[in-house]
Structure 1
Amino acid sequence: MQVSFSVTSDAIASGFHALSEPLRIRILELLRSSELCVCELSEELGIAQSKLSFHLKTLKEANLVRSRQEGRWIYYSLNLSQFVALEQYLSEYRRFSQLLPARPCEDTPSS
């Protein structure tokens, strides 16, 4: 049984944009093992919470992380379903596109 995901091109672009920043990749790596609060992420990454908040907002807008509030702290975790959607999007290229060798560029005639 194959699960089908409907992901818009905007969601795909947003996901890959969020993944294009090394600090956001580091945040996601930390969240792979457990849910963490902003203070724990800030301490682990050695960056100010204000800078971290900007990156967490980008990840949240891309639907790559989820947040929940407990008392005065906000806890973040991975939204695995969005990673599955991005993975499925990429797998379509591998599955249905034949990999061909690159065609040599033709020299353009000079005037």
Structure 2
Amino acid sequence: MIKLLADPLRARIVQLLAGEALCTCHLVEETGARQTNISNHLRQLREAGVVEAEPCGRFTYYRLRPEVLQATADHIAGLAERARTHSEARRPC
């Protein structure tokens, strides 16, 4: 998930979708990226379960799945807490 969101354009798409559901044409307008590039990034985000598609006439709207982002955030927060708790632990050689 971190690698997926590390791409600047995908991160921007996620940021934009956090505010509202958007179609590809909106994302092209907001980012200045080409439609094919946006579509490829949306496909990767869909396959990872980060966004879901909603057909609406000729257009498809995309929205974030906040529970997926929350699960990732919780996992990272858990790692940080574990590191804090065990900061003095050391395995003997």
TM-score category, normalised to shorter length: 0.7 to 0.9
Structure 1 position 78 matched with structure 2 position 64: yes
The two structures, once aligned, show a CA RMSD in angstroms of 1.8
Q: Hey, what's the Cα distance between the residues in 1 that align with 2:59 and 2:14?
A: 19
Partner of 1:60: 46
Shift of 1:97: 2.7
SS at match of 2:53: strand
Q: Give me the TM-score of the superposition, normalised by structure 1.
A: 0.72
Q: Is the radius of gyration larger for structure 1 or structure 2?
A: 1
- Percent identity, aligned pairs only, is 33
Mapping for residues 1-111 of structure 1, pairs under 5 Å: 15-98=1-84, 100=87
Q: Hey, what's the Cα distance between the residues in 2 that align with 1:73 and 1:56?
A: 14
Shift of 1:20: 1.6
SS at match of 1:97: helix
Amino acid of the residue matched to residue 56 of structure 2?
E
Q: Hey, what's the Cα distance between the residues in 2 that align with 1:97 and 1:45?
A: 37
Q: Hey, what's the Cα distance between the residues in 2 that align with 1:40 and 1:52?
A: 10
Shift of 1:43: 1.0
Amino acid of the residue matched to residue 5 of structure 2?
L
Q: Give me the TM-score of the superposition, normalised by structure 2.
A: 0.84
Deviations 1:30-51 (A, max 9, x none): 1111110111111111122111
Q: Hey, what's the Cα distance between the residues in 1 that align with 2:2 and 2:82?
A: 21
Q: Hey, what's the Cα distance between the residues in 2 that align with 1:39 and 1:94?
A: 38
